[in-house]
A and B are shown apart, each in its own frame.
Chain A
Amino acid sequence: MSVEIKKLTHIYSQGTPFEFQALKDIDITIEDGSFVGIIGHTGSGKSTLIQHLNGLLVPTSGTVVVDGLDIFAGKKSDLIQLRHRIGLVFQYPEHQLFEETVYKDVAFGPKNQGLSAAEVDQRVRKSIKMVGLDYDEVKDKSPFELSGGQMRRVAIAGVLAMEPSVLILDEPTAGLDPRGRDEILAQIKTMHQKNKNTVILVSHSMEDIGKLVEKILVMNEGEIVYYDTPNRVFTEIETLEKIGLAVPEVTYLMGKLKKKFPEIREDIFTVEAAKNEILRVIRG
């Protein structure tokens, strides 16, 4: 599903001394089936923006059109249907676990979608496996006796089990160990490639963004600074730093190697790409 954000403005506490404009006239389209990363410093408007995408926040002006449907103008029943297809993983999703067992918690979403018991069961098994947990080991456990990292995985499994057409993740891996982070992100990427769903990933890790996404949305003070490919965005080092961001370490390295190897490419943001480019210039 495509997500069209149309002249979206959001003002918190309008008309009070605390009035704060979090989003200013945002106007972009996230194409169906794309994998988009959102970066921006704390308070730049990222979370406010994504909370509009499934109708959790109502815009002050402007609107969001998902799959051709204006989510703030349509009927309430349409919005409910739409929400079933838009999965949102919040920061610290483990705080939203509530069921007695891991199985029941993950089954909650697909059950509400009205799937048959057999379908729900299949989704639960699949998504628990997807997040790297052992189904038989965890299914009957209380989510609250798991470690923090495992709880996070269960919470993400609960959203994946709904197989959302649009999957929005707000810093899903903050606090996870490197393997947990890589595994979960790899599974999300695999699911994206297989199901061609739209994925929107908010992250503070430039390395993860550089590895995963097709397009990057850069936000600053409620406005869009860039909406372009990683090649274009991560070469704007100066602007990114000015707004509190950074580029992957390997990208900085390439910039510094330019003195010695003037022909070296700077649009490099993964270790793999850096290795190949260094080998190219060294071996000539």
Chain B
Amino acid sequence: MINETKKRMIDVQNIQFIYPHANEEENVIALEGVDFHIDKGEFVGIIGHNGSGKSTLSKLLNAIIFPTKGDVLVNGMNTKDREHLWDIRQTAGMVFQNPDNQLVATIVEEDVAFGPENLGVPPLEIRERVDRALATVEMQAYAHQKPHQLSGGQKQRIAIAGILAMEPECIIFDEPTAMLDPSGRREVMATIKKLNRDKNMTVIHITHYMSEIIDADRIIVLDKGKIVMEGTPEKIFKNVLALKEIGLDVPQMTELAFELRKEGIDIRDNILSIEEMVAALCQ
């Protein structure tokens, strides 16, 4: 039975996307027959090798580009519908890889205020939103600092706060930790998980770090512009060989479990975390 209370946040309906080339024969089909949906409050990981169509997909979700076939609906709004353009971008915010390319102002709180200012939010409310967003990413103490003095993880949290201040319902993270050191990655992942858990924020997390999505609700695997696997982390990551075949990887603990099983050790094939591995080995 369909759960009526679940609200559909993203609906990607059998889309195709072609990057046109001057010579038509060289057109590049970036996505073909991609069809999935994401419910409000879900945490979905998207993985795929470079060139598999992940970034194209994220641009389609944000109405930066439009499908050549099929439709993309964000909270019921069709991205092709020009009059909804700003509503769509406000509903589904994006955070990119390089924090230095996303910060625009010279003071942290001004940077966070940039989005709501452009949306025409009244000044008093902007003040409230900025304070709330900075509190959520635990960066209130840095409100008056200059962004360039912050660490990579802190800058990324400011970028997230800037999106939060626009009060989106969904955030698309396009490899937000690729440039960060281990503590920066921890901070940013903790922030993303908290938003999903405590604020019921719909999260789409595109990453090359498999360990970051071991507690996602669902993972979508893209290869050559098509969805090749979809399911829970347990279900996806036990396909160690199939994932490696398409240039991907599995979390270190899953790989270790796979190697131990090959040696005849009786251990589950869907282990994802250190805790699960410890539990399995210390029975």
Q: Which residues of A contact B (CB under 8 A)?
A: 40-43, 91-92, 147-150, 171, 174-181, 204, 206-207, 241, 244-246, 248-250, 252-253, 256-257, 259-260, 271-272, 274-275, 278-279, 282
Contacts and interface: CB of A to CB of B under 8 A. Distances in A.
B18 interface: no
B102 to A, nearest CB: 15
B49 A180 contact: yes
A184 to B, nearest CB: 11
Contact of A253 (B153, B180, B263, B274): B274
A178 B208 contact: yes
B247 A244 contact: no
B162 interface: no
B183 A245 contact: yes
A-B pairs with lowest CB-CB distance, top 7: A149-B50, A179-B247, A178-B249, A244-B183, A246-B182, A177-B49, A147-B51
Contacts of B179: 91, 171, 174-175, 204
A253 B253 contact: yes
Given A40-B181, A175-B178, A275 B256 contact: yes
Nearest to B243: A178
Nearest to B154: A42
28 contacts: A42-B152, A42-B153, A42-B180, A42-B181, A91-B179, A174-B179, A175-B97, A177-B48, A177-B208, A177-B247, A178-B210, A179-B244, A179-B248, A180-B49, A180-B247, A181-B208, A204-B185, A206-B182, A244-B182, A249-B251, A249-B253, A253-B253, A271-B255, A272-B259, A275-B256, A278-B260, A279-B260, A282-B281
A253 B257 CA distance: 12
B252 interface: yes
Given A150-B51, A179-B248, A250 B265 contact: no
B56 to A, nearest CB: 10
Nearest to B251: A249
Interface in B178-227: 178-186, 208, 210-211
Contacts of B181: 40-42, 204, 244-245
B28 to A, nearest CB: 9
B208 A260 contact: no
B248 A43 contact: no
Contacts of B180: 42, 204
B106 interface: no
B135 interface: no
B175 A41 contact: no
Nearest to A181: B208
B151 A176 contact: no
B124 interface: no
A260 B279 CA distance: 10
Nearest to B49: A177
A234 to B, nearest CB: 12
B277 interface: yes
B50 A176 contact: yes
Please indicate which of the listed interface residues B50, B182, B263 has the most CB atoms of chain A within 10 Å of its own CB: B50
Contact of B50 (A150, A206, A260): A150
B208 A176 contact: yes
Contacts of A41: 151, 181-184
A147 B278 contact: no
Contacts of B210: 178
